């Protein structure tokens, strides 16, 4: 390729993690058979943890950050892809084991590359990104386990964040009565505009303290974890499902077996990183069609450029972030 390009590379020296916008070359690309010229990426909480060193996200150093990328094929050694093809990659170890999407070029194994389906382009694909893919995967798991619109309200925690906002929009679009939980008072009108039927303040007790409480929700998509997840389980109705997506409120929670053995509820884990390729294709095709939020531009209204990534990541870790998704224009 022979091209010099810019990228945010993370180093670790004597236990200290530092990120810098550097000039890189082909030798800095990871092993793979498809080289992508990046057009867009997105800033996820996991990316912010990696860039600031606040979380153990990267498994080797130095490494370019960014778990999402969309752009066009620059070089392909695989017959499935031609130069100029519009493609995306989310997860698959990007920005964790291999150099990621916060650079003008990225090289990956062909098996990780998804052709951008009709109905999306590089920009809208990254407005969704890992967050949208995770919501699509959560809905797939809920449906597979019997969850249906019309079966009762479904709770979404952390609703003003990127994943939560997409969950509100996608679930309501699919006919679910969505109850959005948020601690951000100024986001209420915005969430109603995305389709939330009800909005509750996360900071106000709603559930009680017993091992089982009166059933309130047919299911839930939880992006918070921790104590909120523990308090949510006792109010899920018979045979309901809770899809667990995040841990912004903590990785540990204390509960009892009663919601599971007396109401038959299911706790469904969602791992977007290691999703098998056929299912990954299916979810992205659905996201390009019936699951594509009608108000995607409102969910990902905040757009930054490559040099602004570190400042945005530090603000995200500090809790000062715009609601919804942050889109990154690379090219």
Spatial distance between the Cα atoms of 54 and 19, rounded to a whole number of angstroms: 12
Structure tokens at 1: 């390729």
Per-residue pLDDT tens digits for 125-156: 999 999 999 999 999 999 999 999 999 999 99
How many CB atoms neighbour CB 281 within 10 A? Answer: 14
List where CATH 3.40.50.720 sits in the chain: 130-269
Alpha helices in 1-150 (DSSP H): 45-52, 122-144
CATH superfamily of 130-269: NAD(P)-binding Rossmann-like Domain (3.40.50.720)
Over the stretch 254-309, which tens digit does the pLDDT of each residue have?
Answer: 999 999 999 999 999 999 998 999 999 999 999 999 999 999 999 999 999 999 99
Return the structure tokens found at 250.
């903590």
pLDDT tens sequence across 39-78: 999 999 999 999 999 989 999 999 999 999 999 999 999 9
Determine the 3-state secondary structure of 188 from DSSP: helix
Give the residue among 253, 151, 262, 252 at the shortest CA–CA distance from 212: 262
Q: At residue 207, does pLDDT exceed 70?
A: yes
Q: What is the CATH number of domain 5-116+301-329?
A: 3.90.180.10
Count CB atoms within 10 A of the CB of residue 271.
Answer: 11
User: Mean pLDDT score of the chain, rounded to an integer?
Assistant: 95
Q: Where in the chain is the domain with CATH 3.90.180.10?
A: 5-116+301-329
């Amino acid at each position: 390729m022979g091209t010099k390009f810019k990228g945010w590379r993370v180093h670790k020296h004597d236990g200290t993690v530092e990120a810098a916008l550097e000039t890189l070359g082909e030798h800095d690309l990871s092993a793979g058979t498809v080289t992508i010229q990046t057009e867009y990426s997105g800033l996820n909480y996991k990316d912010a943890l990696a860039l600031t060193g606040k979380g153990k996200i990267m498994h080797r150093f130095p490494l370019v950050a960014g778990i999402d990328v969309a752009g066009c094929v620059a070089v392909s050694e695989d017959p499935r892809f031609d130069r100029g093809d519009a493609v995306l990659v989310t997860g698959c170890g990007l920005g964790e084991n291999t150099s990621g999407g916060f650079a003008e070029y990225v090289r990956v194994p062909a098996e990780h590359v998804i052709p951008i389906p009709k109905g999306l382009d590089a920009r809208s694909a990254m407005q969704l990104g890992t967050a949208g893919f995770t919501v699509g995967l959560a809905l797939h798991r809920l449906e597979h386990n019997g969850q249906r619109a019309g079966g009762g309200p479904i709770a979404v925690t952390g609703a003003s964040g990127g994943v939560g906002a997409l969950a509100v929009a996608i679930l309501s679009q699919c006919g679910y009565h969505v109850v959005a939980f948020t601690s951000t008072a100024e986001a209420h009108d915005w969430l109603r505009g995305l389709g939330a039927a009800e909005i509750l303040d996360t900071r106000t007790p709603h559930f009680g303290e017993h091992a089982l409480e009166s059933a309130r929700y047919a299911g839930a998509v939880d992006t918070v974890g921790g104590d909120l997840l523990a308090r949510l389980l006792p109010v899920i109705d018979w045979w309901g499902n809770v899809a667990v997506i995040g841990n912004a409120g903590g990785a540990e929670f204390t509960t009892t077996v009663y919601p599971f053995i007396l109401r038959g509820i299911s706790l469904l884990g969602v791992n977007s990183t290691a999703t098998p390729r056929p299912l990954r294709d299916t979810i992205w095709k659905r996201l390009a069609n019936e699951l594509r939020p009608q108000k995607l531009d409102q969910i990902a209204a905040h757009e930054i450029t490559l040099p602004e990534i570190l400042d945005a990541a530090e603000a995200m870790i500090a809790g000062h972030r715009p609601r919804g998704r942050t889109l990154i224009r690379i090219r």
